Structure 1
Amino acid sequence: MKYLKIFSVLLLVLILAATAVGIGLYKWAAQDLPDYRTISDYDPPLVTKVFTRDGDVLGQFYREKRYLVSLDEIAPVAVKAFLASEDARFYEHEGVSMLGVARAAIQNFKAGEIVQGGSTITQQVIKSLLLTPERSYTRKLKEAILAYRLENHLTKDEILTIYMNQIFLGSRAYGIEAASREYFGKHAGELNLAEASLLAALPKAPSRLNPYRNPEGARHRQMYVLSRMLNLGWIDEQEYQEAVSQPLELKRMPDPSWQKGPYYLEEVRRRLIHMFGEEKVYEGGLVVQTPTSLKHLDAAQKSLRQGLEDSTKRRGWRGPLDNIEPEMQQGFLMQQVLDPEELEKGQWTQVLVTDVEASGADVRFGDFHGRIDVSTMEWGRTPDPSRAPEEVRAIRDATRILEPGDIVWASLQHKPEPDELMDESRMEPIVFEMALEQEPEVQGAIYSLDPRTGDVMALAGGYDFHQSHFNRATQARRQTGSAFKPIVYSAALDNGYTPASIVLDAPFVYDDHETLTSWRPRNFEGVFHGPTLIRDALVKSRNLVTIRVAQNLGIDELIHRARSLGIQEEFPRDLSISLGSVPVTLEDMCQAFSAFARDGSYVVPRLITSVSDSWGQLIYENDTEPVEAISHENSYIITSLLQEVVADGTGWRARALGRPVAGKTGTTNQQKDAWYLGYSPYLLTGVYVGFDQPRPMGRFETGARAASPIWVDYRKEVEEEYPVQDFQRPPGIVTARIDAESGLLAPSGMDNTYFLPFKAGTEPTRKSARAESDREEGSGSSGATEEDLLKQMY
């Protein structure tokens, strides 16, 4: 009895001591714990998604590939698979599983180190969001305390939702939704049992068990998960067997980022970072709406690429990419791994020239043979700067261009039928028809917006985004040449000029007394036309008339008009600005021209229409805010004259649309820059072409030849989206038939006349001296005398 009392006292002492130690350990571990309540404001790094107006994904920005989903958006079988794999008693314990702790302790004792944690899902959430990943008993104790507290703060479903979104599952995929897209190309709600069990196998070692790199390891762990689900009674034997025998097809959900419209997407990214900061863009899970469509973006990029390829061919052949010795040729071919079923008509590939004769060249690429006919090499002539490309004799002998060992670009002209490609009984190899190609050095850009709203419908800033991220539509500042003239004549219309005003087209010398130099501008064709209507000066792009008008207006008036249209560049105080000598971006020119396409107010282009946070809350909305610039009458008259540029001037290619279109070409000195800006009431599109380091493109590489074909090709692809519309004439406009020679009124039936628009009260009131009725009556009245013409000139 005495010993029993002693034992009881000792036992009590030990219990009290253990309790004291436990309390001490708890207080020690709990004294610097992070606030578990912050987990209820779960805000993990999420993917920012950029959408087109049609709901297509244009691209994504992220550091961790994670998409937030709720528990009811996950396939129920996937939830069961993760619970079976990680914490089958999740809905029973209070944050810590004593059974799991005991099992882990035994394994750690046997190993002599910490090899197993026995963590519940709640503890894993705590470890991921609040604690470091170190393996120690101290961290485990803190983890257990926080897990118990969290269980009393959040519901089980809330904790499980956080876990399913937070967990890393390999291949840069965080959370079940990202993993479903990464491994099976589907959403988490679409997973079947076999797929779900494979994903649930990954948390143990996501990098090592990555099924792309270690399919056997992933398969072995998947079988463990399925067995657990069967033993727990969560699936039956038939479901188990079906999942075990189901072959899994690994495939990634396509990421469209930087595929279609990469320049547009990059510009959106830059602007988002400017507005919200880099962390918010890459981790905030923003939902960004843009006004573009994949159709517009694809049409713009294709038309720009084709136009630049055509431009480089007009300058002739630059030579092969390389020429390799025979002993190196097999190595080159072995490096090319090409799937015949993925070869498409028009696709470019590098080919090895194996034999050349006058009629063409035999080539090899990978395991395939090809033939480049000499007819596809006709453009490969040596350029002659003094002659138009079509005047230079075409190449008719392939040996003048290629030789064996050359590495060149070639495009596939014909794709054999699949059964022909798979026919292993063929004795002779299939020979693909190919055409010689050449990547351009010249660059360019296309920018298209809806002038009614400012919505940027298309943007392509160069030939190939993956070669150069520099956006020539928004970042390159280049001289605009004659594309600036509508701005000059817009100012003229508000300072006494009309479309029927006459100005002298004659030699002009401007002496700069500060630099003691003289400037002698001339027209492009080097011809002087004498007295010229303002209408003809703009339509025919007469430089000397434009300079005389600018001189009469004064440089301040020109700068003021450009600024009122939104062009904020620094303007030098010399008359050359009237001919587009000031470098401007294509985006700024499109913005300025939007005033002509509208009612005189311009719109600031918008690539982003709205931004929402990851929970769908709108945080930014970009409403169109027109800026008053010029009168509606002014814009309508300029538009009417630019329609004449299309009908009777350098913008003639745009007539191919068969719709009301206004436009203006621009070409700078020595053809270093080529422009075309054209618009309808519903779509304004600008094109620029030129070398990144300015140099002549060739005497005939003008806005009409180098830029406007790109404009036409793009517009043909998208024009069907819009009904035919004409420009609305404002009430203050009248039209009159004008004698093209005198600028005075002309009766019907007279030749060489124009119908021109005027602000009411500014139209001519006198009849032309050429009027037949005046000559028959012999009145001798109101004809334009030489003195009259001279007065109008100045």
Structure 2
Amino acid sequence: MAGRGKANERVEPTFEERRGGDDFRLSAGDRVARGSPAVKGGGKPKSGKPSRSRQKRRSEGGLGGFLRRMVYWSIVLGLWGGIGLAGIVAYYGARMPSASTWSIPERPPNVKIVSVEGEVIANRGITGGEALALEDMSPYIPQAVIAIEDRRFYSHFGVDPFGLVRALINNALPGRGTQGGSTLTQQLAKNLFLSPERTIERKVQEVLLAFWLEHTYTKDQILAMYLNRVYFGSNAYGVEAASRRYFNKSARDVNLGEAALLAGLLKAPSRLSPARDPEAAEARAQVVLGAMRDAGFITDDEIKTAMSQPPARAKRYWSGAGQYVADMVMDDVRALIGTVEDDLVVETTIDMSLEKKAEAALIDTLSRDGEKSKASQAALVSIDGTGAIRALVGGRDYAESQFNRAAKAKRQPGSAFKPFVYVSALEIGLRPESVRNDAPIRIGKWTPENYDQKYRGPVTLTSALANSLNTIAAELVMEVGPEHVVKVAHRLGIESELQANASIALGTSEVSLLELTSAYAPFMNGGYKATPHVVRRITTPDGKILYENDYANPPQVLSEQIVAAMNMMLTQVIEGGTGKNARLKGWQAAGKTGTTQSFRDALFVGYTSNLTTGVWFGNDDGTSMRKVTGGGLPAKAWHDFMTAAHSGLTPTPLGGVPYDRQDMQQQPEQLSIGSIISEVFSPAEGRYPAAPAPPVAPAATGGHAPRMSQVPIPPGEVGDRNATPAQATRRTTLLDIITGQ
């Protein structure tokens, strides 16, 4: 036992000096494999349960150990990731300006253009619409946007972690579309401050700005800023611009289906625009309606009602005749006040009821007769006696062509220019009953001919104008002098350069329809210049007046006697001349037709005591129409518009004094011997209708803007209708010539 005990005693190895040169060796008992149990007596190892250390090692290699390691490393990586993220945020945050200098950039200025009734005609500016307070919008709009874009908008702090995780999972799954995790606040921050590129720096800045917005503004303020600035496609920024662009109504008035369509556009404004793809826009709107129901904003019954409504069918561009007016207004605003730097409200002279009637008259005429007549375009302008533009249509369809043919296009007026020739003749002493010989005439190398290539012999000036005889007009130009005709035309309102030659009698110098129409207005207002204008007042949204026009004291450009004579003569154009298609039931009207060479242009300009209106038909490329004259399509469209414009109004005669032949004898008539002889054998007495009755105050205008006839006319400055017969110069007769008197 003792020897066995000795054998079992542990022998500690020592590193002493070798003894007798023997090497240091371990005994067999010391040679125990690592990890093996001790062996008694040098025998085989004992079998039995593993040791605790072995059990621990085995358990660490199982599922529990794996999970523990995962948790451990997740915590480690999370800490390091958080440190790294904080470093990135700190780095990019340091590159941003100090938060104390952050401020919401000013929204681009908007110009709201309204009619005389206060109805919005259009909005102009980068945004295309005015900013609305959240409470002024249709309640469906914010509900729809929140439901589809950011359902937890009112509960998150600017960044939605749940939304980010949802977006990451959705984008990681195959076959799923890309989904963004940005909140409305982040989108607003991006739109206000950042560029659209997708970089880590921009995303970090977006988050920081979102936190700042949430800290600085209320949720309602953030939502209102977003809805007033976000892009909805088709050049529409903000809900007001989009609503007017797609539905032709204010965002205050959109219904549930329309609000869903607007909210649906935010995903892809250009691709989903109803102006580009109405079916895609409608399909997306139905998705929005489902999201609104899931969010608890609406019920299934409301969805059914919304889906039963006809889908929006928007044109590819802003539409409506009022858009021509809006473009014209913007040109005037810049000329009147300079660069637009703040929101403005521009009050115009436009009567929207008349504007819509004017557009309808042109479209109906073109739709009915345009194709067979080879007329593709038309324009109309209507003004009152002050020159205020009440209606203006610059073309068939603004969505197809934004060129304003009423104000910017200059074309030959043809015979519509002749009234200025006859005014010139009256001013040198001729009278409506004066006679001239309709016969072939040669002026230099020019030989003017009548439209029907027929000659009527001796005719009165009234008859010559009513039948638009070219020979008489040319003869009158040579009698009075082309320079005098040019001066008269400019005095009445023509601003374009005119060529002082004999052919001016046939309207060969180009003018715009607007200036031609305004030059007719002195005939209807008693002889006063009517400067055309469309802007009444320019104000700030809070009512501060920046500009207000003043046309209360226009200059007198024609004497009352000349006005009376021209009214009588131009009335005959409609009653029995080339303008018969323009006759108005119950209303005294006057006007003149105009047709250019080869039927390229056809015009009719006419007036009542309320309005002066000019109409043009033709083609933009100058190609000929199919024998369309001023007495054809233009006179018919003029009739349709003026009939609608005067509906419900009490008929009143043309203003000014009635025509009196004695009043015209203040200046000697310059007649040739042939003219006097012609008149002797063709006496004029008894061939003219009774003079129009003195003007009376018209009845209420039925909602239209006040007409010139309701405004007191200033006292005359040209001519004197109170001249006594003794003061008048006696007219030369054939007997005077024979007797030498």
Same fold (TM over 0.5): yes
For residues 457 and 573 of structure 2, the distance between their equivalents in structure 1, rounded to whole angstroms, comes to: 18
| 1:449 and 2:382 correspond | yes
Structure 1 residue 301: Cα displacement = 4.7
SS of corresponding position for 1:510: coil
For residues 126 and 445 of structure 1, the distance between their equivalents in structure 2, rounded to whole angstroms, comes to: 47
Structure 1 residue 564: Cα displacement = 1.5
CA contact (8 A) 1:446 1:461 kept: yes
2:185 aligned partner? 122
1:663 aligned partner? 591
Deviations 1:414-454 (A, max 9, x none): xxxxxxxxxxxxxxxxxxxxxxxx54313563524233243
Residue 589 of structure 2 aligns with an amino acid whose one-letter code is V
Call closer, same or farther: CA 1:720–1:219 in 2, change over 3 Å: closer
TM-score by structure 1 length? 0.60
2:136 aligned partner? 73
2:604 aligned partner? 676
1:265 aligned partner? 323
2:38 aligned partner? none
2:423 aligned partner? 490
2:649 aligned partner? 722
Structure 1 residue 682: Cα displacement = 0.7
For residues 261 and 97 of structure 2, the distance between their equivalents in structure 1, rounded to whole angstroms, comes to: 35
SS of corresponding position for 1:40: coil
Structure 1 residue 679: Cα displacement = 0.8
1:602 aligned partner? 529
Residue 588 of structure 1 aligns with an amino acid whose one-letter code is E
Deviations 1:662-710 (A, max 9, x none): 2223345566554332211211122334565355854xx5444554333
Call closer, same or farther: CA 1:609–1:544 in 2, change over 3 Å: same
2:733 aligned partner? 784
For residues 509 and 198 of structure 1, the distance between their equivalents in structure 2, rounded to whole angstroms, comes to: 69
CA contact (8 A) 2:676 2:734 kept: no
CA contact (8 A) 2:357 2:644 kept: yes
CA contact (8 A) 1:209 1:218 kept: no
Structure 1 window deviating more from structure 2 (216-225 vs 140-149): it is: 216-225
Unaligned runs of 5+ residues in structure 1 are: 1-14, 313-437, 512-516, 768-780
Where do 1:378-393 residues align within 5 Å? none
2:702 aligned partner? none
Structure 1 residue 162: Cα displacement = 1.4
SS of corresponding position for 1:666: strand
Call closer, same or farther: CA 1:618–1:91 in 2, change over 3 Å: farther
Call closer, same or farther: CA 1:254–1:732 in 2, change over 3 Å: same
For residues 790 and 706 of structure 1, the distance between their equivalents in structure 2, rounded to whole angstroms, comes to: 53
Deviations 1:462-494 (A, max 9, x none): 566677666544444333333222212222333
Pairing partner for 1:508 from 438, 441, 448? 441
| 1:693 and 2:652 correspond | no
For residues 623 and 264 of structure 2, the distance between their equivalents in structure 1, rounded to whole angstroms, comes to: 58
For residues 153 and 687 of structure 1, the distance between their equivalents in structure 2, rounded to whole angstroms, comes to: 57
Unaligned runs of 5+ residues in structure 2 are: 1-78, 666-674, 693-718
Q: Which has the higher strand share?
A: 1
CA contact (8 A) 1:57 1:256 kept: no
CA contact (8 A) 2:605 2:612 kept: yes
For residues 384 and 247 of structure 2, the distance between their equivalents in structure 1, rounded to whole angstroms, comes to: 43
Deviations 1:705-751 (A, max 9, x none): 5543333233223322432222333599775799x999999xxx975
Call closer, same or farther: CA 1:171–1:529 in 2, change over 3 Å: closer
Call closer, same or farther: CA 1:550–1:221 in 2, change over 3 Å: closer
CA contact (8 A) 1:656 1:712 kept: yes
1:143 aligned partner? 206
CA contact (8 A) 2:92 2:201 kept: no
For residues 523 and 184 of structure 1, the distance between their equivalents in structure 2, rounded to whole angstroms, comes to: 48
Pairing partner for 2:457 from 518, 526, 529? 529
Over the aligned positions, Cα root-mean-square deviation in angstroms equals 5.8
| 1:547 and 2:462 correspond | no
| 1:587 and 2:502 correspond | no
For residues 272 and 635 of structure 2, the distance between their equivalents in structure 1, rounded to whole angstroms, comes to: 55
For residues 183 and 761 of structure 1, the distance between their equivalents in structure 2, rounded to whole angstroms, comes to: 61
2:104 aligned partner? 40
Residue 330 of structure 2 aligns with an amino acid whose one-letter code is L
For residues 578 and 503 of structure 1, the distance between their equivalents in structure 2, rounded to whole angstroms, comes to: 15
SS of corresponding position for 1:725: coil
Residue 123 of structure 1 aligns with an amino acid whose one-letter code is Q
Structure 1 window deviating more from structure 2 (645-654 vs 283-292): it is: 283-292
TM-score by structure 2 length? 0.64
SS of corresponding position for 1:687: strand
Deviations 1:23-67 (A, max 9, x none): 895365233348786653541687x76655556665666876766
For residues 716 and 284 of structure 1, the distance between their equivalents in structure 2, rounded to whole angstroms, comes to: 41
2:9 aligned partner? none
CA contact (8 A) 1:307 1:710 kept: yes
2:498 aligned partner? 571
For residues 636 and 68 of structure 1, the distance between their equivalents in structure 2, rounded to whole angstroms, comes to: 52
Aligned residues with identical type, % of pairs? 29
2:10 aligned partner? none
Residue 721 of structure 2 aligns with an amino acid whose one-letter code is A
Deviations 1:43-97 (A, max 9, x none): 1687x76655556665666876766332223566875776677667766776556
For residues 666 and 791 of structure 1, the distance between their equivalents in structure 2, rounded to whole angstroms, comes to: 43
Where do 1:147-166 residues align within 5 Å? 147-166=210-229
For residues 634 and 214 of structure 2, the distance between their equivalents in structure 1, rounded to whole angstroms, comes to: 66
Where do 1:273-288 residues align within 5 Å? 275-276=333-334
Report how many residues are paired: 615
Structure 1 residue 553: Cα displacement = 2.2
Deviations 1:316-361 (A, max 9, x none): xxxxxxxxxxxxxxxxxxxxxxxxxxxxxxxxxxxxxxxxxxxxxx
Residue 268 of structure 1 aligns with an amino acid whose one-letter code is A
Residue 135 of structure 2 aligns with an amino acid whose one-letter code is D
CA contact (8 A) 1:611 1:619 kept: yes
